[in-house]
Structure 1
Amino acid sequence: MPDTIDFETLFNHSPNSYMLLDRELRYVAANDVYLRVTASRRDELLGRNVFDVFPHDPEDPGNTSARLLRASLERVLTGRVPDTLALIPYRVPRQTAEGVVTEERFWSATHTPLLDARGEVAFILQHTVDVTELQRLKRAVGATAARESAISSDQVEAGVLYRARIVQETNSTLDAERRHLRRLFDQAPGFVAFLRGHQHVFELANPAYYQLIGHREIVGKPVREALPEIEGQGFFELLDQVFTTGEPFVGLGVQVFLQRHPGAPLTEVYADLVYQPIIESDGTVSGIFVQGHDVTERKRAQDELRQYREHLEELVQERTRALAESEAERRQTEAVLRQSQKMEAVGKLTGGVAHDFNNLLQVIGGNLQLLQRDLVGSEQAQRRLKAAISAVERGARLASQLLAFARRQPLEPVAINLGRLVRGMGDLLRRALGERIELETVISGGLWNTFADPNQLENVILNLAINARDAMEGEGKLTIESGNAMLDDHYARSHPEVAPGQYVLLAISDTGCGMSPEVLERAFEPFFTTKPEGRGTGLGLSMVYGFVKQTGGHIKIYSEVGHGTTIRIYLPRSFQAEVSPVEVVTRPIEGGTETILVVEDDAEVRATVVELLTDLGYCVLKASDGQSALAIIQSGLAVDLLFTDVVMPGPVRSPDLARQAKVLLPDLEVLFTSGYTENAIVHGGRLDPGLSLLSKPYRKEELARKLRHLLRNRQQRSSARQALATEERAGPGRAQETPRRGSLRILLVEDDEEIRSSASELLDVLGHEVRAVASAEEAQEVLAASGFDVLFTDVSLPGLSGVALAREAVRLYPGLRVIIASGYGASVINEGGEVVGAVLLPKPYELSQLQSALTRAGSSP
């Protein structure tokens, strides 16, 4: 069967029988109805001549059926016009209870030529209707007429009665046949309609046709009146052509737009459609038989399938392109993974080295400071000791860089504006770069805040600027840019260590010599340097790398030999308000007489620390591990402060030691120290809340200052409890001894829970309204939401310091009065000067001292 002719749907769904012959009168196709009524199989017919197969009637010696059929087919072949046979008798085998018998049937057939491009008959379509019942009826009527002519006059009355009975039976048979035909017509799976005359007036339409067009009155109306919405779609002209030429039309997947409901928009419908002319015996066309199937859903499914295939083809093409690129990406990813694993391994090794190195520096530095006391009066010895201490400090910076690379340094990140930080470093950078290097800063508008340690970030910028200066050999241009950036999923897929999201970009570009690919690959390795011996440690970029990674950022180097280098650093965006870092300047060294338990596994470090503390006046106990320290505390000895290294041998870890010691001695203060925290008390780059840490190596002044701050906090808790106990014993009238004009609204900011609670009670005893919070960030939110007369804050807070909080609060709320409590001493200033109008209240303070501070702040008489 030719590819261009597809009768499958039409044949398989038509209630009438169809078959198709080629020019040689060989079967090309036959539908299921044809096979059923001829008792044939498709494989017996296809390719064989019609007269070799059917009709073959041994009981018809004149072979009338074959003769009539051949004559009709020859007329179609020669005349190239349709031909109709009113009656073709034939016999078919039928299976009965007695066996196979032959049954006489009758057809009415129409032969329609299908022409090729040259106008020649290529195929002949036979459309047949079984008229057996009609033929039998005619025979019955004829037999009745014959019997009527044979009866005598005296049989007339009986004959009349007999004819009446025959007519009644015939009418009943005709009514049954009509009902049967109507039932077939109504139940046809496809839509069917009959159009009569050249106006194409609807004579009949089955329910499937009404379902197609929408239920409306069409019978008795010309098609142009019944279906006005199809005007201009070509169907009226097509009907006219079929009626005029007598040539049928077969269309597959024909598009038509119908208005199925009054006032509704047109609906797109697709149909397999046949316009079959009804040709009378004289060759004229009296009407058109319309038959077809609504294939809209099938068409949509085919369109969806086509779109799906197109989509699949696009996916295949995209996948092909991806596969073409995947090999390079895989190699790149493997290289990144190997580099990451190498850096992680080196980082762990470096962290361990830094720990031992800091312990050595602590021993050296501590003994040098003790020697300064012993060699007072010798200028030469003091000069040499100063040089040695300076070397220890350089070693400490080196160890700090190692810890930065290893991502083990305890950071103090806050929300900062990178643009302001860069602009604030302008003078420092120009001094470091020299006069022959041009410095340009480009800060984008609307810059987001980022969350990072400002001191470490300044070190990063300065380090990169110095590297750039050396690469430019003292002459060139350094550009520092900052802007908002988005690293999307696509970028993250090619950089596995990156989390997609919003970042703040810091880009530092120079016009120096650039890096080769080999140098670029090792740029972040510790101790790798291209500088001459003695001019660099090789820790600058590794420190930058570790800081960025510990901060949760991303770093990328773009460099080409002879064309300079650009280092792009992406720091995570912060939605918090910017804070200004402060520096607390201490008073001269101050010691004490309290008892301190030192826990240190390194004997030399332990001996040095014990001597430093003894020199400061403290009573010192010592232990080499956590288990021994716990035994001392359990013995009942009075201990005021536990000073323990973080990394300890034995079954009792230092955090567990601190926790158990606090259970036994609730007033005990704990100070951790370490050259390498190993994530014991530092997580996510930040010290765990509520803990105090003094990083090794530390100076005697730093140790003394930290101890006094913690011990004064301890004294403050004790003093507050005593003051509250005194007030309770004095009774309710005691509070009235202190005259005051009114209650104040006070915001108390203190991270120590017990001090916060006791201070709130003391202020309550004085008759004031108190709101207490644990951090500067909480205080900022409360200040923004409520009005207060006094801000009473501790100096040392987690995150933003109390001094920075006070300065920001005074700027935003000019009438606010400030009291700053400090365990460090009497001076709390920063580079910008003192907090204007603030009253310093040293710890420990009592009720009267608190009242005096409120008076000095102008809060009460």
Structure 2
Amino acid sequence: MAQAPDHDPVAAAAPPPGAVPATITGDLLCRTDWSRTPLGPREQWPHSLSIAVSICLNSRFPMFVWWGPELTGIYNDAYIPVLGKRHPDAFGRSAPTVWSDIWDVVGLQAEAVMLRGEATWNDCQPLQMERNGYSEETFFTWSYSPIHDEQGVIRELFCACTEETPRVMAERERDSLLRSALDTVENLGNWFDHAPGFVALLRGRDMVFEMANEAYYQLVGHRPLIGRKVFDALPDARNQGFEELLRRVYDQGEPFVGRAMPLSFQRVPGGPVTERYIDLSYQPVRDKSGQVAGIFVQGSDVTEQVRVAEALKQADRRKDEFLATLAHELRNPLSPIRNGLQILKFKLPDDPALARTRQMMERQVSHLVRLVDDLMEVSRIGQGKIELRRRRLALDEAIASALEATASQAQERQITVHQDIAPGVWVDGDHDRLMQVFSNLLTNAVKFTEANGDIWVTLRQEGALAVATVRDSGCGIAPDALDHVFEMFSQGTVHQRSGGLGIGLALVRQLVALHDGTVSAFSEGGGRGSEFRVQLPVHPSAAPFAVPASAHVPPDAAALRRRVLVIDDNADAADSLAAALAVEGHDVRIAYDGLAGLDTLMADGSDVVVVDIGMPGIDGYEFARRVRRSDVAPMPRLIALTGWGQHRDKTRALEAGFDLHLTKPADLDVLRGVLQSG
């Protein structure tokens, strides 16, 4: 017999790293000394077992895993009610020992799975079970599935199950009530009238109203019902699918349940047509011989809930449209700013102080562009669709950029920022995204630290992990808020005066997770400060990342002279981009609307045309379509440069005939590469 697991937290070995849910069974998993069981130490478990256990413990559906010849069992919290008093002793024990009272049923199925790999399915199977100190009749639906190890050998049985006992008992009681209703229908009037929602009883194949409660009358406008066939009483309900549904329930004896079904009818004969939405249940009613004798109708009017849900959908669509418009309006002024910085790069004297200032401004413009992009990605965060531009990165570089970006905020509040940052801690990461992680953490720390307070930023390599912390002396986090600080739109969960969009820490968690890391929050409570700890896997290579020497070539040495036409109704954007390209030696012309740009192109030709989308006269899409239909020679490369940067905008631009879609403010290195490529 397998040795019983030891759940003593003192005697248990420290669990290996892994995502173990904070649940009853998750705690049992960590506290059990698995070396004393047939499974052995957790760190030596096969990958297939670890994955199956992780799926099981993180599910809210009743599940368990039986592993190996002894069928050692591990289950989740949702399965505990099934066990009754067998929990927690059943955790880590052999299944035949735990379920000896029903092993004659389930054991044969387990054998079919483990020996022959035959998956099983049981629908509402009766089991006489003794789990709470007495024998009881139970019903379960479950499936047994084999799981193979890395060598293809069946080592494990995985089960998802649901207890049907309450439903079966409820159905028995319901059927008993309905049979009584057919025999003594007159005694049920009071029950009908006070039932939640609308109810009615239809008798016979002709489906004649036998009973209907007040809620049903209110729904259909107080028409005469009792003794009439359903569609004689409600003729305007025909041709909406209900007649076919009722006939199928009666003929097949199978119930029907519908959600938010539209129903159009006149509450007053000759009056306006009203559309309502109803949750509806048709239940066949059987006589003593078991034959269908009628249909029990039950439901509720959910029109208001449907309208609220639709209003929420419309509000969500309007939110997306607002964010897209806001991002567009923010990108437009950023475009001439970035272009102007590019001009200053080549026009300013070779003054180190000016160069540092310009570089700082370029970094902050780039950071602002990324923030605008993040605003657009709010709806994508939960789906994990944020794209990273990863490379080998010294993590102290991203932290230094974040410190620089938030330095002025700390200085304004006279907060001292203490740094203990180890160099040479390398990770595989996106510099801008990791900078955003630490910028958000530092901004939070500054926001919630009183004037003349302190912030400590540290970076260390601990084994295979890069560990960075941001700690403050601020007002701290209440214990009941710690579990919610990383949730989307969780305003006010950290401190009463938090404010903001409520996406900062949620974005931090998502970005860190995309880097295969974790972030956690700690606080001893109000007035005791808080600490956020970011852990990232270090890069496996020891060699530093080298930027290719050809990443930037002086324009006068490598750029090819191109004839470029810039079309944009924003004069600042058009003029600044033209000036930036002219500095690099290109022959640039400008037009301030689509029609003027089309005339200029047809008259003088061009190698490349950079076109805004939203313009008076004709927009950028129409401009591209007209150029592609024209006989202009040579045919220029068309580049859409716009503040509209969603996926559908890029698709629409390419469909209109553009060769490339760039989002404002344009990355001039990208644009330079396009021009050099011909």
Would the TM-score normalized by the shorter structure come out above 0.5?
no
| TM-score, reference length from structure 1 | 0.30
